[in-house]
Amino acid sequence: MSETQWMSLVALLMVAVLVVPAALRRNRGAVLRNAALWLALIVALVWVYDRFGPFGN
């Protein structure tokens, strides 16, 4: 990984540390459902980008 990619990863982790606790407090009843929905959405977007994006086969 290049230095830019490491910096992006660190920035993403820092944002997650700030956002995730507040999101968990706010959505106590639906945390697992929301996490599963977001994970499914992210996986779908990554698949679409990989399949049809500039690096697709």
Domain borders along the chain are 3-52
What six digits make up the tokens of 15? 């944002």
Q: Which tens digits make up the pLDDT trace of 3-56?
A: 888 888 888 888 888 887 877 777 666 777 778 888 899 999 888 888 887 765
pLDDT at residue 4 in the model: 81
Burial per residue of 3-28, b for 16 or more beta-carbon CB atoms within 10 angstroms, e otherwise: eeeeeeeeeeeeeeeeeeeeeeeeee
pLDDT at residue 29 in the model: 65
pLDDT at residue 46 in the model: 86
Q: What are the distances in angstroms from CA 23 to CA 39, 55, 57? A: 15, 33, 37
pLDDT at residue 3 in the model: 82
